[in-house]
Structure formats: C-alpha cells, structure tokens
Amino acid sequence: MGVKVAVIYYSSTGHVYQLAKAIEEGALETGAEVRLRKVRELAPESVVAGSPDWAEHAAATADVPEATLEDLLWADAYLFGSPTRYGNVSAQLKQFIDTTGGLWFERKLVDKVVSGFTSSDEVHGGQESTIISMYNVFMHWGAIIVTPGYADDVVSAAGGNPYGASSIHVEKDPTKEELAAANFQGRRVALTAARFHSNRS
C-alpha cells in the first residue's frame, strides 16, 4: 500500500482547484492513497453569489469534502494550495492552519512531508512569498518541506517556480504546462514520502 497524501486547498474561482486536481493525479500515479479536501469558505454567501465565476466554482465543487484535522492525522504527506492574497495565503486556508495548534503542541505534525502551491493574477503577484508563508508554518511543525526545485524540465516550462506549482490567472484555466508542473509536484512529494517512510521502517 502506498503512502497517504492529503491535498488541502482553497480556491475561489477554480485555478487552485485545478492545480490541486493535477497534484492529486500525480500522487495517485505513484500508488499513493489521496484525499482531496477544500477548506471552509468564510466569505458571506451574498458575496460569493455576487461573483459569477466564484458562484459557479462553488457549485461545481460542492461535493468536495471539507478538510478536517483528522485528514492531517491520517496523511503521511500534505500539499497545501491557496491563491495569493497580498503575497500571503487566503484567510480561508489560514483559518484552517490556525486550528492545528493542538496537533503542533502534541508533535503530531513532526516529520510529515509537506509542500505548497498557489495562483495569482500577475507574474509577480506574490506567488513565491505566498508559498514561503506556508513553509514558515511547516518549519514550526517540524515537517519536512519538499519543493519541486528544478528537478524536472516541466518546472521551467511552466514558468520556473522552484518553490511550488503555480499558475497565472490570465485565462479561465491553468495552462497545460502549469498543470504538468503540478502533476510533477504531486508525484515528487508522494515518492519522497514513500522513500522517507521506507527508510524509517
């Protein structure tokens, strides 16, 4: 049986969700068990309904389960995704992360293999700082951060973000190159977690 991977994300209009799906597929290709989970929406329903793209995406992903702390206990590896918000993660993902204090205190998140991914409207819209803000948290957890680096040519083809898969929200969907980089990140994290746990046993 493969390692257990949780892909936990927030997406308002779908770009981060599509990256999360590509990451899920990459992890599944390695034989990993994968849970795809969204975090709870914090915006008022009236605000979501007032944006056609936001409302459409919310309806399309209504069946995606919401993330819980149990998903973190279950998984050997995590990939967290968020759109950029002023160079930081969204309030929705931050709220979920802020609920992990008890697990952190009990050292339940130590040695989990983790990585991050994001999307922004512009090339320099805060992608790197958003991902690094996640990694600041993971260092407090004592987790093992695994980035895509430049370990495969798909990273450069997608724009060259070694911190984590990312997309630029110019079109409705991420490019095939961006999705390929996300798929690679899912595979890399799952394979790294498998090697790590094999060496520990």
CA-based end-to-end distance of the chain:
14
Q: Please give the pLDDT value at position 97.
A: 97
CB 39 within 8 A of CB 80: no
Contact 83, 94 (CB under 8 A): no
**What's the pTM?**
0.95
Query: How many Cα atoms within 13 Å fall on the side-chain side of residue 200?
Result: 9
pLDDT under 70: residue ranges of the chain: 1, 200-201
- For residues 197 and 68, give the distance between their C-alpha atoms in angstroms, rounded to a whole number: 23
| Beta bridge mates, 88 | 85
For position 123, what pLDDT does the model report?
85
**Tens digits of residue pLDDT in 4-41:** 999 999 999 999 999 999 999 999 999 999 999 999 99
Q: How far apart are CA 88 and CA 66, in angstroms?
A: 21
Q: What is the model's pLDDT at position 176?
A: 96
Return d(Cα 151, Cα 110) in angstroms, integer.
25
